[in-house]
Amino acid sequence: MGANHSHGTAVPASRRAVVATLAVLLPLAIATLVALVWLWPEGRTGSAVQESGFQRLTGTITAVTLEPCGETQPGAPKPHPATCGKATVSVEDGERVTLSLPSGPGSQRFAAGDDVILLHHPEAEPGTPAYQLSDHDRSTPLWLFGAAFALAVIAFGRWRGVTALAGLAITFVLLLTFVIPGILEGRPPMLVAIVGAAAIMLTVLYLTHGFTLATSMALLGTLASLVITGALSYAAIGLARLNGITDDSSFTLDMSLSIDTQGLLLASIIIGALGVLDDVTVTQSVTVAELAAANPSYGFRRLYRAGSRVGRAHIASVINTIILAYAGASLPLLLLFSIGEQPLGEVLTTPVLAQEIARSVVGTLGLIAAVPITTALAALVTARRDPPDTDAHPDPHDHTDPDDHPDRPDRPDPHDLWTPRDRADPYDRADPYGRPAAHDPAEPPSRPARHRRSPAQPTSAQPTSAQPTSTRPTSMLPSTRSLRRARS
């Protein structure tokens, strides 16, 4: 916590806050490490995984010869003309083979010059083709996408972008070497997901944002929200009686590898909520730290209220993002239900949509819980003191911005531009934040006395104290124009 390489505003931390944070985080880190070692997969594969006998090769199409499509059975979809014919492929070892183009429903379309993937069966029976045209080779475009992504992140984030990419790499390593193999070996999916998520957060957050109190509070808020999300997921799955089998993939896993699909659904909800929780908790913690640095006199209550206002605005936008993300992923399924013209009630209660609804609701509730938890933790460690109640005994020398007191009824809201105000309101002559006007015509000027000009002070046109003063009224004295005429 002492080494701070964060790019945000450094907020002085009290020794008590640092000690309390370490007292909570160190046991959590040790428990996560022990569970990670205990649940680490042994590297053995399931018994149902068998070798298919096919080899995956790459090649390039040199020529495509189209042929008339044959007759189809009544009621069967007609193939596209571009999928009927043969293709000549140059395999990576230099061999040239001629293959039939795939012409089934949803088949890919190939042209000369395309990089493709071939499946080779060395022990194919006579009369059976040894090569099959499988798919397009997308290695080069994906590498280009990855390079563009990395360059954009580094160009904008600089060193922070480099650490973010390193954290992303650690996340993929833990998912591919711990979470997925552990579930395949029969470990409890929910326990594996929680331990993997905790390990990802402990490593990635500190690597990306530095060893600061703000990062620690974001980490504690994320872990607490993950526990709440896991409990809500368990309750929602049991209440809705979801078993996690909604497509061919989950059915195959349940039949061939005997994986707990219900636990797999719990694990997917936790890991899916992890990325959005990271965003919300880090934003809340850094916001409170910035507020404390800009307003050192703010206490816990003011920091919590200001941070909660930012959190409410953030949650309002994130909820829409989550719903649209799930809707976009399920768009083909929604179109299929729309074609079937089923009632909305029947569509929503199908296992596929019920599972997505439960996932969305549970994830949203976990995000909502993350805002007050993280905001309270961050305000607790960054607040210095609670100032006394200035409403009962106002300080005449206090020039604090009235916007710091949003709850006072005598202060108009500076951001309310739509409520009409009376012209007699003294705040109409003030600045947009409700400060009183510098000078009120009904009151004496606030200019210091030594700079005021007294009406009894003599001027150049009036006699001084050394000269005799006239007792005549001012209106009886000769004018300046009369004096000039007398001199001329």
pLDDT tens digits, residue range 14-51? 788 888 888 888 999 999 999 999 988 887 554 444 44
The band of 1, judged by pLDDT with boundaries at 50, 70 and 90, is low
467, two tokens: 């000269």
Note whether 403 and 433 are within 8 A (CB). Answer: yes
Tell how many helices (H) and how many strands (E) occur in the chain.
Answer: 13, 5
The band of 478, judged by pLDDT with boundaries at 50, 70 and 90, is low
- Across the range 200-217, mean pLDDT stands at 88
Task: Count CB atoms within 10 A of the CB of residue 232.
Answer: 20
Tell me the one-letter amino acid at 158: R
What pLDDT, on the 0 to 100 scale, is given for residue 44?
58
Question: What value does the mean pLDDT of the chain take?
Answer: 75
373, two tokens: 């938890």
What pLDDT, on the 0 to 100 scale, is given for residue 11?
55
- Across the range 394-400, mean pLDDT stands at 50
User: Which residue in 210, 209, 384, 417 sits closest to 299, CA to CA?
Assistant: 384
The band of 147, judged by pLDDT with boundaries at 50, 70 and 90, is very high
* pLDDT for 466 beyond 50: no
* pLDDT for 93 beyond 80: no
What pLDDT, on the 0 to 100 scale, is given for residue 237?
86
* pLDDT for 441 beyond 60: no
Share of the chain above pLDDT 70, in %: 70
Q: What are phi and psi of 443, to 5 degrees?
A: -115, 155
What pLDDT, on the 0 to 100 scale, is given for residue 142?
92
The pTM assigned to this predicted structure is 0.64
DSSP conformation letters of 210-262: -SSHHHHHHHHHHHHHHHHHHHHHHHHHHHHT--S--SHHHHHHHHHS---HH
Note whether 111 and 136 are within 8 A (CB). Answer: no
pLDDT tens digits, residue range 105-134? 777 888 888 888 888 877 767 667 778 888
The band of 52, judged by pLDDT with boundaries at 50, 70 and 90, is low
404, two tokens: 């710091």
**Four-CA torsion 188, 191, 195, 197, nearest 10 degrees:** 100
What pLDDT, on the 0 to 100 scale, is given for residue 234?
87
Task: Please indicate whether residue 91 or residue 397 has the higher confidence score (pLDDT).
Answer: 91
Question: Cα angle at 249 between 246 and 255, to 5 degrees?
Answer: 95
Alpha-carbon radius of gyration of the chain: 37
DSSP 119: E
Task: Please indicate whether residue 417 or residue 301 has the higher confidence score (pLDDT).
Answer: 301
Query: How do 131-136 and 96-100 pair as beta strands?
Result: unpaired
What pLDDT, on the 0 to 100 scale, is given for residue 17?
81
- Across the range 172-176, mean pLDDT stands at 90
pLDDT tens digits, residue range 222-257? 999 988 988 898 888 888 888 777 766 767 776 777
CA dist 57 and 117 (Å) reads 6
Question: Under 8 Å CB-to-CB from 326, ≥6 apart: which residues?
Answer: 356, 359, 360
- Least confident interval from 73-87, 280-294, 347-361: 73-87
Question: Cα angle at 52 between 97 and 247, to 5 degrees?
Answer: 110
What pLDDT, on the 0 to 100 scale, is given for residue 87?
84
CA dist 364 and 325 (Å) reads 13
DSSP conformation letters of 47-102: TT------EEEEEEEEEEEE-PPPP--TTSPPPPGGGSEEEEEEETTS-EEEEEPP
CA dist 410 and 54 (Å) reads 80
Note whether 63 and 112 are within 8 A (CB). Answer: yes
What pLDDT, on the 0 to 100 scale, is given for residue 408?
47
28, two tokens: 């959590």
Note whether 216 and 349 are within 8 A (CB). Answer: no
Task: Count CB atoms within 10 A of the CB of residue 456.
Answer: 5
What pLDDT, on the 0 to 100 scale, is given for residue 90?
86
What pLDDT, on the 0 to 100 scale, is given for residue 243?
78
DSSP conformation letters of 288-353: HHHHHHH-TT--HHHHHHHHHHHHHHHHHHHHHHHHHHHHHHTHHHHHHHHHHT--HHHHHTSHHH
What pLDDT, on the 0 to 100 scale, is given for residue 460?
46
- Across the range 407-417, mean pLDDT stands at 47
CA distances to 160, 309, 400 from 302, rounded to whole Å, are 30, 11, 14
The band of 376, judged by pLDDT with boundaries at 50, 70 and 90, is very high
Q: What are phi and psi of 337, to 5 degrees?
A: -65, -35
What pLDDT, on the 0 to 100 scale, is given for residue 51?
47
- Across the range 308-333, mean pLDDT stands at 80
- Across the range 64-93, mean pLDDT stands at 78
The band of 465, judged by pLDDT with boundaries at 50, 70 and 90, is very low
Task: Please indicate whether residue 215 or residue 417 has the higher confidence score (pLDDT).
Answer: 215
CA dist 195 and 185 (Å) reads 16
3-state secondary structure string across 187-214: CCHHHHHHHHHHHHHHHHHHHHHCCCHH
418, two tokens: 């739509």
- Note the Cα 66 to chain centre separation in Å: 50
Task: Count CB atoms within 10 A of the CB of residue 378.
Answer: 30
Task: Please indicate whether residue 429 or residue 189 has the higher confidence score (pLDDT).
Answer: 189
